[in-house]
Structure 1
Amino acid sequence: MSKAYIFTSYAHEDEALKTEMDKYLKVLKRSGKIDTWNDRALIPGQEWDKTIMDELNKANIILLLVSVDFNASDFIWEKELAEAMRRHEEGTAYVIPIILRECQWTSLPYAKLQALPRNAQPITEFANRDSAFTEVANGIERLVDYMLTK
C-alpha cells in the first residue's frame, strides 16, 4: 500500500468541526501518506447514496465524527455505520471514533474501538482546540505509518 484512503462519516450539523479537522490532516495529504473523501466531494448529477457507499468501501480508514447529531442520523446509523462496523469486523478497514461533542455513545457498536482524542475527551471540551485536533491528527498518522509498514 502506497497511501491510506480515509473516509469521513459525520453529521452535517458538525460540518464546521469537520472542516477544521481537515486542516490538521492536510500535512498527511501533502506528505503523500493519505487521500481523504467526504460527502462534500459529491458532484452534481452523482447518485449520492451509491457514491457515498462506494467511497466508504474503498477506504481503509473510516473516521466517525461522533456527536449527538451523528448518533441521531438515520442514514449514518443504517448505512455508513453499519458498513463501517462490518468492515472493521472482517478486518478490511480501521474505524476510528473521534469524539467531537459530548453525547451518549458508550453503549453503541463503535464504543469498543479506541477513540480519539485521548481518554475520549470531546474536542469541544478542550481549552485549546488546536491541541485536540493535533492529537487526533497525530493518532491518525500513527495508524497510517503502521499500515504503510505492514
Structure 2
Amino acid sequence: MAIVDTVPFPVRDPRAAELQRVLAEMYGTYPQALSLAGAFGVPLNDVRLNLTPMQRWGELLGMLAVRGKVRALVEAVRKQHPNDRNLPLFNALLAEPGGKVQIYVSYSRKDRKLVDEFRLFVREASLPVRVFYDLDIAPGQVFSEELRRELDRSQLVLFFLSSDALSSAYIWEAEVPAAIALNEQGRARVVPVLLRPCDWTKTALAKYHLLPRGARPIVGTRPRSRAWTAVVEELRPLIAEILVEQARPGGTPRLMPAGPDRLRLALYAVLDQPAELELLDRLDERELAALWQRLSADGRSMAEVLQALAQRHGEQAPQPLWAAWIETVQPDKLGT
C-alpha cells in the first residue's frame, strides 16, 4: 500500500522517514518549507518558527496528509527536480503497487498447514510480496537446486520454528547457513517465526529478532488469527523498507545513509532541545565524527549512547523515529 496521503502520516514506515529527511535537505529553510507546503493548502500561521528542518517537515507532512496532499507535493517536487538523486524514492512513493518482495519460507513439512495459514493472511493483507516454499517447485526440476535458486533471489527469509524444524538436517545444514550469508552480504533479511514451543535460543537464529513478539508461539495463541495478524503487521514496515532499497540506483541494499549522515539521523531521533538540534544541523562531517568519538569514548555501543541520550532528555516513551529505527536497523552499525 502506498504511504502517501494516509492519515496519520506513517512515521514508522521507513519510506516516510526518508521522505521527511529528503524534504528537510531540499527545502530546509523556513521560507522554502512554507512556500512549498503553502501551495498545497497548509495555513502558514499553523507552522511553528522554532523547529529544525526535520521537525518542521514532520509536522508539515502530517498536515498535508490530513488534506490528502502528500502525493501532490511529491509529484510537484519530482517535476521540479527531474534529475535529483532522490528520484528513485519519489518514483517508489508515487508508483502504483507493483514491485514485490520475495519471501522464502523454511519450515518442516509437518507444519505445512501453518505455512498455508500464513500465506492466506499475507494475501488478505495485500502485502506486495511473493511467498515461496518448496511445494511451489514444478515437477521435473532438481529440487535442491531450485530451493537454492529461490533462496538466493529472496529478499526476506522466514524460518518457521518448531521441534520438527529444529530436527531437520536440511534446514540447519543448508538453508540456515545460506540465509545468514545472504544477510551478512546485505542481500536478505532473516526473521525467525515461532510456530510451536521449542528450544530455539541455542540455535544460530537466536541473534535475529523473533516473531511473534514476546516469543509467544503461534500455536497456543487464541484466537490464532490474532498471532498471524501481528506477524503480518510486523513484517509490513520491513517489506516497505526493502522496496525502498530496491528502488535506489542499482538496487544497492542499505539500511540508512552511511557514515556521518547516519549518525546525524540517529541523533535527530533522540535530541529534542531546539538549541541542540540547531547545532546538529550546522555540524560538518569532521565535527560529527568528533562528536561520535566523544559520545562513545567510554566504550558504549551506538544503541547504548542513543538510549542514554533519550533518557537524559526525560523521554517517557521513545520518539517515533527512534522506536522505528531501533526495531528495523542494526543499532550498533549506526555509527559506521
Regarding TM over 0.5, the answer is: yes
Instruction: Give, in angstroms, the shift of residue 72 of structure 1.
Output: 0.6
Q: Which runs of 4+ in 1 moved over 4 A?
A: none
Instruction: Give, in angstroms, the shift of residue 27 of structure 1.
Output: 3.4
Larger radius of gyration: 2
Give the aligned partner of residue 110 of structure 2. Answer: 13
2:218 paired with 1:120? no
User: SS of the counterpart of 1:123?
Assistant: coil
How many percent of aligned residue pairs carry the same amino acid?
31
User: SS of the counterpart of 2:190?
Assistant: strand
- Give deviations 1:113-141, integer Å, cap 9, x for gaps: 11111112111121210000000111111
Give the aligned partner of residue 87 of structure 1. Answer: 182
1:148 and 1:59 map into 2 onto residues whose CA distance is 12
- Structural mapping, 1:94-105, within 5 Å: 94-105=189-200
Give the aligned partner of residue 147 of structure 2. Answer: 52
Counterpart AA for 1:147? I
- Give deviations 1:40-95, integer Å, cap 9, x for gaps: 11111110000001000000000100011111101111111110111112221001
Q: How many residues align?
A: 148
Q: Is the 8 A contact 2:104 2:156 kept in 1?
A: yes
44-53 or 88-97, larger mean C-alpha shift: 88-97
2:241 and 2:215 map into 1 onto residues whose CA distance is 21
- Any unmatched runs of 5+ in structure 1? none
Counterpart AA for 1:114? H
User: SS of the counterpart of 1:125?
Assistant: coil
Counterpart AA for 1:5? Q
- Structural mapping, 1:27-38, within 5 Å: 27-28=124-125, 30=126, 33-38=128-133
Task: From 173, 178, 187, give the equivalent of 1:78.
Answer: 173
> RCO greater where, 1 or 2, for CA within 8 Å and sep 6 or more?
1
Task: From 106, 128, 149, give the equivalent of 2:201.
Answer: 106
Give the aligned partner of residue 237 of structure 2. Answer: 142
Counterpart AA for 2:241? Y
Q: TM-score, normalised by structure 2?
A: 0.43
Give the aligned partner of residue 62 of structure 1. Answer: 157
1:109 and 1:128 map into 2 onto residues whose CA distance is 30
- Any unmatched runs of 5+ in structure 2? 1-91, 93-98, 246-336
Give the aligned partner of residue 58 of structure 2. Answer: none
